[in-house]
Amino acid sequence: MATSNGPKKAGCAFARRATAAAVAVTVLGLISGCSEPVAKKEYDVPRALCGMPVDSGLLSPFLPAGKKVRVVETRPVPSRKLCRVDVDGKWALMANLQWWEEDVDVSTVVLANPQTDKSAQSTDDDFFYTGSGAVKLVKGCKNRDHTRHLLYTSVQLSDPDRGDTAAMKKLATAFTEAVGRSDECS
């Protein structure tokens, strides 16, 4: 004797299988690339900051994805050279050369650079850095236009979440060494 629930149970089982199949197709679609495309850098990473050669591999981790990069250099006063790296019209990184009077304590220089005010200090007292910024003394740098002054470099990120302490230390060191070999120190 057939029960009256037989065809109804078969219909429910079919509906469950159909729902499970639809979920599987949706998951596979997402996995196979139907989601949003991953943003990438469509520009060449600069090979210099403030006219100083820097390995683009050291700079690249700090720059966001985008289509266009532009490096803007200014010298608002004789004691400062500012270099801003913009990606798609928004600043991503800033590098600076800063001449300070030799009696100014390095902590003042650090406080003047917002991304380094809570930074780790190196053992030689002339290098402060975090994942999002650094200040470093250019040792032995002399310039007849800046007598009784010391030259410091600084690097700052606009987005501290892009920071990486070890990578920042490498970038700031390479940038500072390039400045020390340049005409700024002649």
At 35, the pLDDT band (50, 70, 90 cuts) reads low
Answer yes or no: do 23 and 75 share one domain: no
| Range with the poorest average pLDDT among 23-37, 104-118, 165-179 | 23-37
What per-residue confidence (pLDDT) applies to 114? 73
Which residue would you say has higher pLDDT here, 29 or 184? 184
Answer yes or no: do 90 and 175 share one domain: yes
What per-residue confidence (pLDDT) applies to 1? 52
What per-residue confidence (pLDDT) applies to 73? 96
What per-residue confidence (pLDDT) applies to 145? 93
In which domain, by residue range, is 29 found? 1-35
pLDDT of 89 above 60: yes
Answer yes or no: do 99 and 173 share one domain: yes
pTM recorded for the entire structure:
0.77
Answer yes or no: do 98 and 175 share one domain: yes
HEC string of the chain? CCCCCHHHHHHHHHHHHHHHHHHHHHHHHHHHHHCCCCCCECCCCCCEECCEECCHHHHHHHCCCECCEEEEEECCCCCEEEEEEEECCEEEEEEEEEEEECCCCHHHHHHCCHHHCCCEECCCCCEEECCCEEEEECCCCCCHHHCCEEEEEEEEECCHHHCCHHHHHHHHHHHHHHHHCCHHHC
